[in-house]
Chains A and B, each alone.
Chain A
């Protein structure tokens, strides 16, 4: 339908359909055709070889016609088109300010988390296992936290050594005896999963303090919907866009039932924090104020925020500030980020904190090794998602095994994080192994050991065309009265060839993660 418009008495005919195609849409993805995975690729995938690793695209395609179809569409897409779209997507991330800021003395530089636009797709079946497994794990962590801050049965029953709990730097005495609504300590949880060669999903790490990355899950999807709608056509993908609402609902659940409209706020360290974009995202998606410590104060054990109309009460705080900094009165007295008196208000039940202080005990490396036993202890079930095989060196037979297989094991000190103090057997020199052996013998309780894991790979756009790169997966679970798992999660990809390190600080990027509603196409 042509539209007419009048301008200064002259009648113009506007273009037939107001919009023009964007320059980068030179080639359309073929939306019909190939249904089963083909033995030989003729297009962009030609020469793609995942080697001995589980390929998230090709191997999963064997179990899902929808994934096979997506692979076929990608194969038919010229590399130049993929590159053009990838370039547009990066520009868009930059313009939207989906960035983290790196500060040097003089400058503030905005960086984007590199985005690879070839999606990582999970079958309905895989997801069902992950979802149940994550819920089970979160349930266990919450029961464990309630236990250690109350009766400490797991210690008395000899399930877990007392020093790992009570001597843990993240154990908070202030939490002892406090009763939390629904026994929920970990409201927001991220479980890091990796997939081994045989396709089994395993837990590598729990993140029960302040897991980040969920904003990328949602923003990556928005980006894909704009850049790659033709790839998604007729593929039944579960939506991720309602994360904010679901989170808000659950945070309201833990507020006192007497409050009709609980006031939830998101407490951020401020614009200089590298995760500030995510804080903005969460506040916006939940429709709640993004506050800093200086916006809040405690009076008569109640928390208030400073508004133009005076102080207004706050009921639930989703805090993205570490335990040590939330209240200078209770913890680090130097903290400028927190709120004085917050823990007093919390202890009285006048405000809820998500996550609760003291959850750091549960996602500790030393505790991690015990989680499968805790699942059995609290729930009388087997862990649905197994741990990566982990040897607890404080246990004699395990230590013996580690010492025998030292050259093939990854040995990690339990107290450290961020990859410090790790010895990677296959890559270590003789001297390094000897050194590690001596340390193990001197203080075995300080170490756990895991075999090298062959992380699965996902086809990824690189300078040399489409190549396999290692990926992990962090699904996010939110818990109030019950637990809900966002379908998908953050797939991080190690962009460097052969690298197993997916961290953004070390050359990692991310991918959109699709969960199929059904496996048939």
Chain B
């Protein structure tokens, strides 16, 4: 059987990442819409810029962030590589390259999804509609995962697809967690009730509220939510869950497909998993350094991508760009 082209492996890795990125961005916008208000009830959309480390880039072009300008930037702006339109575009461009590999069903869904996203306009950003828009994006992404899981042949390509998704989603989960921390830092007059409702909203936006309640019926606070999001292997959007998935796929690549180059990535992953022991994370929470931990995880995942790039995608060994804008 023909071995997978290095370029295809990279494309399918990024296709998975971009869809995850779009979904998580929709989740972040949704939770901000609902909860990022200061004591006077005004939205603070600047937080979203901080989560994505986009504030400087944004302000250079658009000045002071407003609800309107931030939403336009993240939903419609095709010049912003981190907007929903750009994410779905990039996923679809990668899919276009991958058409000989992926199923027709996968391609058709992404193609239709993209064409629908293209029709979005400024009206769809109105406050009363935003939540529906986010739900549509999430639905489109979920349909993509479902069709992929149901139709894609399980060979190396599948492993790279899943690796891309898991790395992206783990990264995004830390950003979602940061949304709360950054918002709290910016806000005055934070109260306990506001806190609880915020954590609730955050869990809801990660589709984890019910599960959290079952796991922790009595109390909702920063420590428990943080542990849940980072360390609970049973919660499918937690970092721990994704790291386990990454490990499984790396082992597959090494054993089933004889790709010994996966070893280096496995070693790197072992280090990161050690740092996410619940006991260690609890100490980090107590020390008030969750934001730094989030940064560390993001950094480590970027390094993991670089290792995969050099081992499988034909990236040059000199460690250059963190990640290319798109493999398409």
Q: Contact size class for A?
A: 20 to 34
Q: Which residue of A lies closest to B4 (CB)?
A: A308
Nearest Cβ on chain A to B140's Cβ, whole angstroms: 14
Q: Is B291 an interface residue (CB 8 A)?
A: no
Q: Which residue of A lies closest to B8 (CB)?
A: A289
Contacts of B9 on A, CB cut-off 8 Å? 308
B257 lies within 8 A of A289 (CB)? no
A95 lies within 8 A of B5 (CB)? no
Q: Is B215 an interface residue (CB 8 A)?
A: no
Interface segment, one of B38-46, B92-100, B236-244: B92-100
Q: Is A206 an interface residue (CB 8 A)?
A: no
Q: A284-B99, A309-B258 are in contact. Are A292 and B112 (CB under 8 A)?
A: no
Q: Is A271 an interface residue (CB 8 A)?
A: yes
Nearest Cβ on chain A to B42's Cβ, whole angstroms: 35
B258 lies within 8 A of A283 (CB)? no
Q: Is the interface of A mostly helix, strand, loop or mixed?
A: mixed
Contacts of B259 on A, CB cut-off 8 Å? 308-309
Nearest Cβ on chain B to A79's Cβ, whole angstroms: 29
Q: Out of B104, B108, B111, B312, which one reaches A308, CB within 8 Å?
A: B312
Q: Is A305 an interface residue (CB 8 A)?
A: yes
Q: A95-B108, A97-B108 are in contact. Are A307 and B96 (CB under 8 A)?
A: no
> How far, in whole Å, are A290 and B112 apart by their CA atoms in the complex?
23
> How far, in whole Å, are A283 and B257 apart by their CA atoms in the complex?
23
Nearest Cβ on chain B to A267's Cβ, whole angstroms: 12
Q: Which residue of B lies closest to A294 (CB)?
A: B7
Count A-B contacts at CB 8 Å: 63
A306 lies within 8 A of B100 (CB)? no
Q: A307-B5, A309-B257, A309-B259 are in contact. Are A96 and B104 (CB under 8 A)?
A: yes
Q: A294-B7, A306-B7, A308-B259 are in contact. Are A271 and B100 (CB under 8 A)?
A: no
Contacts of B230 on A, CB cut-off 8 Å? none
Q: Is A74 an interface residue (CB 8 A)?
A: no
Q: A96-B104, A289-B100 are in contact. Are A306 and B111 (CB under 8 A)?
A: no
Q: Which residue of B lies closest to A101 (CB)?
A: B96
Q: A271-B93, A283-B100, A308-B6 are in contact. Are A97 and B107 (CB under 8 A)?
A: yes
Q: Is B50 an interface residue (CB 8 A)?
A: no
Q: Is B328 an interface residue (CB 8 A)?
A: yes
Most buried by B among A95, A271, A306, A309: A309
Nearest Cβ on chain B to A426's Cβ, whole angstroms: 45
A280 lies within 8 A of B100 (CB)? yes
Q: Is B317 an interface residue (CB 8 A)?
A: no
Q: A271-B97, A271-B328, A284-B99 are in contact. Are A305 and B107 (CB under 8 A)?
A: no
Q: Is A223 an interface residue (CB 8 A)?
A: no
Contacts of A308 on B, CB cut-off 8 Å? 3-6, 9, 156, 160, 259, 312-313
Q: A95-B108, A289-B2, A290-B100 are in contact. Are A306 and B93 (CB under 8 A)?
A: no
Q: Is B146 an interface residue (CB 8 A)?
A: no
> How far, in whole Å, are A96 and B99 apart by their CA atoms in the complex?
11
> How far, in whole Å, are A57 and B119 apart by their CA atoms in the complex?
41
Contacts of A284 on B, CB cut-off 8 Å? 99-100
Q: Is A432 an interface residue (CB 8 A)?
A: no
Q: Out of A96, A289, A305, A309, which one reaches B108, CB within 8 Å?
A: A96
B5 lies within 8 A of A289 (CB)? yes
B4 lies within 8 A of A307 (CB)? yes
Q: Is B314 an interface residue (CB 8 A)?
A: yes
Contacts of A283 on B, CB cut-off 8 Å? 100
9 inter-chain pairs at a CB distance below 8 angstroms, sorted by A residue, are A95-B112, A284-B100, A289-B5, A295-B7, A306-B5, A307-B2, A307-B5, A308-B156, A309-B4
**With contacts A288-B2, A308-B259 known, what are 8 further pairs, Cβ within 8 A?**
A96-B104, A271-B328, A292-B7, A305-B5, A307-B2, A308-B156, A308-B312, A308-B313
